[in-house]
């Protein structure tokens, strides 16, 4: 399903950021960010806490608006306030805290947007929803409420929920950071299988193993700028920028 979709939409699932800036009050959080993600590619964003990684994802998914610069996601110019809302329902976002809807069971979480936004019939939504849950290995738990699932299971349901609307691009914001170490693998393996199917992905993570094995490109952010980027091999094994070296030393130590 996703493989053909990705091919069909190969033109429309790339991302371009040009000279993007963003301030919160007097704090300049993003200073002149340029970033390109070609369709079907996996870009991993790394960097210290507070360096602006989440803000980049939130701008690309329409949750924040850039102060200046150009942001094109798929074929939607996000810097145009009139057109930015078009992105809704066309990208998927996976949050650190899962953000599942606690009053709906797993299937209800996955089908809500299908019913409300895509106006599917109940039966159709159920079929698509179950297929998405199966994709993340959660079809057996479709009747469970989020509070009845482990963190890893909740995050897999959250991924299924994002996949249900058939997005062109997926954003992951520290999707495994809130998980117990033994639960990280079940989530990263779902993410790897998405990447293998050709989904365009921008992933903020501290899992260097995932970055190394799955990323097409690793981007290191430092204090609102992109300090260094390149292949995982280059950036993770042979970093040039001193800040990258410091950051990696600290992460690998932990």
Partner 1 sequence: MLYQWRSVLEYLPDFLRAMGLTLWITLLAFALALVCGLGAALARNSKNAVLRLGAGAYVEIVRNTPVLLQIFVVFFALPSFGLRMDAVTAGTVAIGVNVGGYLCEVFRAGISSVARAQREAAQVLGLSSRQAFISVIAPQALRNVYPATVNNLIQVLLGTSLLTAIAVPELTGVATVINARTLLFVQVFAIALVLYLVLSNALSFASGLLGRVLFKPPLEQVRPGLWPVRRARTITTTAEVAA
Of 36-44, 47-55, 85-93, 142-150: span binding Mg ion (CB under 5 A): 47-55
- Which of the residues 127 through 156 are near partner 1 (CB under 8 A)? 145, 147-148
Sign for the pseudo-dihedral over CA of 172, 88, 90, 12: negative
Query: What does the DSSP assignment read for 53-69?
Result: HHHHHHHHTTSS--SEE
> With binding defined as CB under 6 A, does residue 53 bind ligand ADP?
yes
- Considering the complex, state which of residue 49 and residue 252 has its C-beta at the smaller distance from partner 1: 49
- Considering the complex, state which of residue 61 and residue 176 has its C-beta at the smaller distance from partner 1: 61
> With binding defined as CB under 8 A, does residue 159 bind partner 1?
no
Report the residue from 39, 54, 176, 214 that binds Mg ion according to the rule CB under 5 A.
54
The count of chain residues that interact with partner 1, using the rule CB under 8 A, is 28
Residue 7-36 contact track with ligand ADP, rule CB under 6 A, x = bound: -----------------x----x-------
The count of chain residues that interact with Mg ion, using the rule CB under 5 A, is 1
Give the strands of the sheet with 68-73, arranged side by side. Answer: 27-37, 15-24, 68-73, 76-77
Inter-axis angle of helices 106-116 and 122-135, nearest 10 = 130
Of 5-13, 49-57, 107-115, 225-233: span binding ligand ADP (CB under 6 A): 49-57
Using only C-alpha atoms, the chain has a radius of gyration, in whole angstroms, of 18
Work out what residue 103 binds among Mg ion, ligand ADP, partner 1, none; the CB cut-off runs from 5 to 8 Å by kind.
partner 1
Residue 108-127 contact track with partner 1, rule CB under 8 A, x = bound: ----xx--xxx---------
> With binding defined as CB under 6 A, does residue 49 bind ligand ADP?
yes
Work out what residue 198 binds among ligand ADP, Mg ion, partner 1, none; the CB cut-off runs from 5 to 8 Å by kind.
none
Residue 55-74 contact track with ligand ADP, rule CB under 6 A, x = bound: x-------------------
Contacts to partner 1 by CB under 8 A: 61-63, 88-93, 95, 97, 99-103, 105, 112-113, 116-118, 145, 147-148, 161-162, 165
Contacts to ligand ADP by CB under 6 A: 24, 29, 47, 49-55
């Amino acid at each position: 399903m996703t493989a053909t979709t990705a091919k069909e939409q190969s033109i429309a699932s790339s991302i371009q950021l040009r000279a993007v800036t963003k301030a919160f009050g007097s704090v300049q959080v993003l200073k002149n960010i340029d970033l390109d993600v070609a369709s079907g590619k996996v870009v991993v964003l790394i960097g210290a806490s507070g360096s602006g990684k989440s803000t980049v994802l939130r701008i690309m998914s329409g949750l924040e608006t850039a102060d200046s610069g150009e942001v094109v996601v798929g074929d939607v110019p996000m810097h145009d306030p009139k057109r930015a809302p078009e992105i809704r329902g066309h990208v998927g976002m996976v949050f650190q805290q899962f953000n599942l809807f606690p009053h709906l069971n797993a299937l209800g979480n996955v089908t809500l947007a299908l019913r409300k936004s895509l106006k599917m019939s109940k039966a159709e939504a159920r079929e698509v929803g179950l297929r998405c849950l199966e994709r993340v290995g959660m079809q057996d738990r479709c009747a469970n409420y989020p509070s009845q699932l482990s963190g890893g299971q909740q995050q897999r349901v959250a991924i299924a929920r994002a996949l249900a609307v058939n997005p062109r691009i997926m954003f992951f914001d520290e999707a495994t950071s809130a998980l117990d170490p033994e639960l990280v693998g079940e989530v990263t393996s779902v993410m790897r299988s998405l990447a293998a199917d050709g989904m365009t992905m921008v992933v903020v993570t501290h899992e260097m193993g995932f970055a190394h094995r799955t990323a097409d490109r690793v981007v290191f952010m430092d204090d609102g700028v992109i300090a260094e980027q390149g292949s995982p091999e280059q950036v993770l094994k042979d970093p040039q920028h001193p800040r990258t070296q410091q950051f990696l030393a600290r992460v690998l130590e932990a």
